[in-house]
Chains A and B, each alone.
Chain A
Amino acid sequence: MINADLLFDLTLILLLLGLAVAAIHAPKLYTSIVMFIVFGLMLALTWARLGATDLALAEAGIGAGLIGVMLLSAMGRSPPEPASRSRPLQHIASLTLAVLVLLLLTRAAIPLLDASPLLPQQVAQELDNSGVSHPVTAVLLNFRAWDTLLELVVLLLALLGVRQLQPSTGPRPQAWPLLVAWSRVIAPLVVMVGGYLLWSGSHAPGGAFQAGVVLAAGVVTLRLSGLLPNIGWHQWPLRALVLVGVALFSLVAATSAWLGEGWLAYPREWSGGLILSIEIAATLSIAAALTLLVIGDTEELAA
């Protein structure tokens, strides 16, 4: 008798594998993108099933939502796809590579099965000193804050890279009245949910990336329905918003290295406030950067 949990997990695994294959091998690009979005949602479900709610939220928002929109709008801009040619040699090469990577990953993952992990205990011991009560936020913004700082830099570099390419679009079609009305309805909801996610990050799943994605999705919807004026890189408040996360984070890091105990080692009594202000700045930056990545500022370039 198979129990229900195992059945659910096995179904999820099979769905993930099937969707991954379908996303790569679908005959039309559009089908591939839809498969990729569904794959992202299923992956989010998998993370939730593994108990990683923070990752599930981020995957559903970024992996399935915003990247899906980015791929669709990229497809809208690109010329019609050429007829795909079947290249068996390439398939064999990629299959070999995939098997090798799978072997490496399996070798790396098998020791984790029976070794008792030390890190959760260490995090739980130090949680009281971190300034927040949610272990994931404690790791992301205190114990391993360096990684998060670099993630913000990566996002900034991605935005700069896209700006170098200067993708061009024609003028946006007039938005339908229903879309406009719907955007008006969900805009306050988006602000509320984003604010809640940001606030709850200190004691429950949530945080800067999740809140930033929700806000960015709201701004993109408002922009697509024409309710917001043109957003562009030439506006200095927007540039400041994109940079404020990295700037505040680096400032805190440099100050703590100069006056305090070391690079990104917060003074204990300040850590809660510092983490909260970094999270707020990072949320604004992530929201601004993702919005610019998705909708771009092509209209002012074209003008």
Chain B
Amino acid sequence: MTEWLIWLSWPLLLAGMFFFISGTLGVLRFPDVYSRLHAVTKADTLGLGLLAAGLALRSDGWQPALLMLLIWLLVMVSSATACQLLARHQREFDSDGGAETSASQKPEEQHDQR
């Protein structure tokens, strides 16, 4: 019974790792902030969900699985919010014509969401 659940978890874990790695590659390789945000939030959220599903198949009971599901939901909501805030900051920065204090303008708002 548990043996085949462990085998079933491998594809999920490997797919999760694949999405994390491709999200990281996207951050490193994509040209602008928007596409980088796209890569990091979408790919990482999916990767985390797959990892959580894979680990849930290996967990002892339903409580750890439920906990991981809740954590995944929280991360999903917070990364979506952080992505929107960062993108909006970048858009305002772009429409300002790029003031020199780009990094320091609204650091609190950006940081709070992580």
- Which A residues form the contact surface with B (CB < 8 A)? 28, 30, 37, 68-69, 72-73, 75-76, 80, 173, 175-176, 178-179, 182, 185-186, 189, 217, 220-221, 224
B32 proximal to A (CB < 8 A): no
Q: How far apart sit A68 and B106, CA to CA, in the bound complex (Å)?
A: 14
A residues in contact with B108, CB < 8 Å: 69, 72-73, 76, 224
Indicate with 1 or 0, residue by residue over B76-91, a CB within 8 angstroms of chain A CB atoms: 0110010011001000
Selected A-B contacts with CB under 8 Å, 8 pairs: A30-B107, A37-B111, A72-B108, A76-B108, A176-B109, A178-B81, A217-B112, A221-B112
Q: Give the residue name and chain of the A residue nearest to B106 (CB).
A: A173
Q: Are B88 and A69 in contact (CB under 8 A)?
A: no
A residues in contact with B109, CB < 8 Å: 175-176, 179, 224
A residues in contact with B104, CB < 8 Å: 30, 72, 75-76
Q: Are A178 and B111 in contact (CB under 8 A)?
A: no
Q: Give the residue name and chain of the A residue nearest to B104 (CB).
A: A76
B35 proximal to A (CB < 8 A): no
Indicate with 1 or 0, residue by residue over B96-114, a CB within 8 angstroms of chain A CB atoms: 0000110111111101110
Q: How far apart sit A69 and B85, CA to CA, in the bound complex (Å)?
A: 16
Chain A CB within 10 Å, residue with most, of B77, B81, B100: B81
A73 to chain B, nearest CB (A): 6
B92 to chain A, nearest CB (A): 9
A residues in contact with B74, CB < 8 Å: 189
Q: How far apart sit A221 and B105, CA to CA, in the bound complex (Å)?
A: 17
Q: Give the residue name and chain of the A residue nearest to B84 (CB).
A: A178
Q: Are B106 and A69 in contact (CB under 8 A)?
A: no
B14 to chain A, nearest CB (A): 16
Chain A CB within 10 Å, residue with most, of B74, B106, B108, B111: B108
Q: Are B81 and A72 in contact (CB under 8 A)?
A: no
**A176 with B85: in contact, given A28-B103, A76-B104 (CB under 8 Å)?**
yes
A residues in contact with B88, CB < 8 Å: 176, 178
Q: How far apart sit A178 and B105, CA to CA, in the bound complex (Å)?
A: 18
